[in-house]
Structures are given as structure tokens and as C-alpha cells.
Structure 1
Amino acid sequence: MLSVGWLVFAVLVAVLLTTWVTFTATRLDRLHARVDAAQAALEAQLVRRAAALLHVAESPDSGASADSRGRLDAVARAALTPDRDEPTRQANENAVGREIRGLAAVTPPLRADASGELHEAAARVLIARRFYNDAVRDTRALRARRMPRMLRMAGRRAMPDFFDIDDTITADREDRP
């Protein structure tokens, strides 16, 4: 009777351990899918923001001065150029953010539709970056645990990295006191 009890206990432990490993592997897979989806959404919003800046630069009636339109065009085109070098990419995106913040403070102000498009695109980048960094944080936290590391549950997938840019948004002129 004692050996049957140990056998039942061993089977129960094996079932519980298998269930836990399966649950953790499934969760890790879902987190990686969430990172991929959030990265795609972030890429789309970054392109949208750079395209909005390019639209302001190319439009003579946007309200941007003629001498600043050349600089805006260069910055937007640099951000739209596919570059896999992360420091260069982040520097380009930071330059786009600085130009958008700079345009919010120009006198005379940009046309309302151009200003609104830039502000909305910048807000969407801010939200998309937060979603992406949250997904990366959750994935890294699960992958840092002992059992997923020992069992190599992530396989050959690279550890996702945070995307840090300065994406602060300035208030529109109408919102300022």
C-alpha cells in the first residue's frame, strides 16, 4: 500500500509540474506575440508621425516658415528611412519629436489642421511606446524567472529591448493659460 501511495504521489507531482510548465510556456509565447504586435503598432505610429511632419514640410500653406521647411523635410525623411541601427533610429525619432515640439512654439502658429495632425500623431506614438514597453517589461520579467531560464522556454528568441525616445507632448496654444 505504501508503494501505491508513492506512485500516486509521483504521478500527481508529474501532472502538476507538466501543467505548470505548459501554462508558463503558453504565457511566454503569448507575451512574445504581444511584444510583436505592440512593436508593429509602434512602427506604424512612428511612420505616421514622421509622415505628418513631412506633410507640414512639403505643404507651403501649413504655416511653417520657408527656411524651416527644409530642416523639417530632412528630419522627417531621415526618420522614414529604414534603419536597423537602434541608436541611429532613436536619434532620428528624438529629432522628429524635437521638431514637433519646436513647431508648437513657433509664432505665427501652424494652421490648426497641421498642428492638430502633428499633436495627434505625437500622442499616438506616446501611447504605442507605452504599450510596447509594458509588453517588453512583462516578457522580460517572466523570462528572468529561474524555471523558464533553466528550461530555456524562450527558445532562440532574442530578449526584447525597450524603445526609449523623448516623446513628450506640448500643449496646443488653445490649451495654454
Structure 2
Amino acid sequence: MIVVAVGVLCALYVTWLAARLSRLNARVKATASALSVAANRRACVAIELGEDLKEESVRAAAHAALVASDDRQIAAENDLTRALRKARGHTIDPDAWGQLEAVNRRLAVARQMHNDAVRDTLALRGARTPRGLRLASHLPRPQYFDIDTDLS
């Protein structure tokens, strides 16, 4: 009887761990999607700003960020941030720059939420029991999205 109870408790614990890993991976996917939307929105606003300024480097960097492949996305976003920093020295419409800063803040929040979700997922995946039972072996390893969003 005790052996059966211990077996049931172990099965419940493993099921709970598997469900938690599944929820964390769903959270990573959701935050990655929100991050992608925020990055695309920033690139679109940057294209508009680049057209207003007649600044080709901003437009080119924003376009590159929009069409970048997954493995090139972080570098493209950092290039866009650098181009926007350089453009700040030009005469810029305060409303347009304010819109860009607002979109940039949303991108920073989305990045932070995504990186928090990745950290939580990797922490659970690295724990002894999930790793030993290979509960997440069929899932891709989530990646951090480290970009510079400081425009000053």
C-alpha cells in the first residue's frame, strides 16, 4: 500500500513538472511573439523617422531589422539602435522622437519579459529531476534576446 502511494506521488510530481515545463515553454513562445511585434513596430517607426530626416542609415538599418533572419535579428536590432543614436544629433520633430522613444520602451519591456521567461525555463530545465528524466529533451532550448535599447 505504501509503495503504491509513493508511486502515485512520484507520478503526480513528474506530471506537475512536465506541465510546468510546458507552461514555461508556452510563455517563452508568447513573449517571443510579443518581442517580435515590438521590434517590428520600432523598425517601422524608425523607417518613418528616417524618411523625415532624409537619413539613409536609419532607413537601411530599420529595413534590415525588419527582414533579418532569426540568427541575424539581434545584430540587426543593435545596428538599428546605433543608427538611431547617431540620428539623434539631427533636428528631429519632438513628436516623432517621442513616438520612437515610446515604442522603444515597449521593446525594452518585451525584451525583459522574454529574457525572464527564458531564464525561468532554463532554470527548471537545468534542475536535477527534469534533466534526469529528460522531460524537456524534445523541446528546443530557448535563447535570450540581448539587444541594446538605450537611445541616449
TM-score for the superposition, normalised by structure 1: 0.81
Equivalent residue number for residue 70 of structure 2: 84
Same amino acid, percent of matched pairs: 39
Equivalent residue number for residue 148 of structure 1: 130
Out of 29, 36, 40, the residue aligned to residue 33 of structure 2 is 40
- Can you give the 5+ residue segments of structure 1 that lack an aligned partner in the other structure? 1-7, 171-177
Equivalent residue number for residue 173 of structure 1: none
Equivalent residue number for residue 103 of structure 1: 87
Q: Which segment drifts farther, 35-44 or 11-20?
A: 11-20
Equivalent residue number for residue 5 of structure 1: none
User: CA-atom RMSD, angstroms?
Assistant: 1.4
Deviations 1:18-69 (A, max 9, x none): 111111111000000000000000000000011110011123xxxx2x3xx1
Equivalent residue number for residue 24 of structure 1: 17
Structure with larger Rg = 1
Equivalent residue number for residue 157 of structure 1: 139
How many Å apart are 1:107 and its aligned residue? 4.5
- Cα separation, 1, equivalents of 2:17 and 2:42: 37
Q: Which amino acid aligns with 2:98?
A: G
Out of 97, 109, 118, the residue aligned to residue 115 of structure 1 is 97
Q: Which amino acid aligns with 2:61?
A: V
- Cα separation, 2, equivalents of 1:11 and 1:103: 69
Structure ranking higher in helix proportion: 2
2:46 maps to 1:49: no
Give the 3-state SS of the residue equivalent to 1:100 in structure 2: helix
Q: Paired residues, what number?
A: 152
- Cα separation, 2, equivalents of 1:73 and 1:166: 18
Q: What are the equivalent positions in structure 2 for 1:62-73 lying under 5 Å apart?
A: 64=53, 66=54, 69-73=55-59
How many Å apart are 1:116 and its aligned residue? 1.0
Equivalent residue number for residue 2 of structure 2: 9
Deviations 1:55-112 (A, max 9, x none): 11123xxxx2x3xx11111111111114132xx32111001112223333x243x112
Q: Which segment drifts farther, 134-143 or 113-122?
A: 113-122
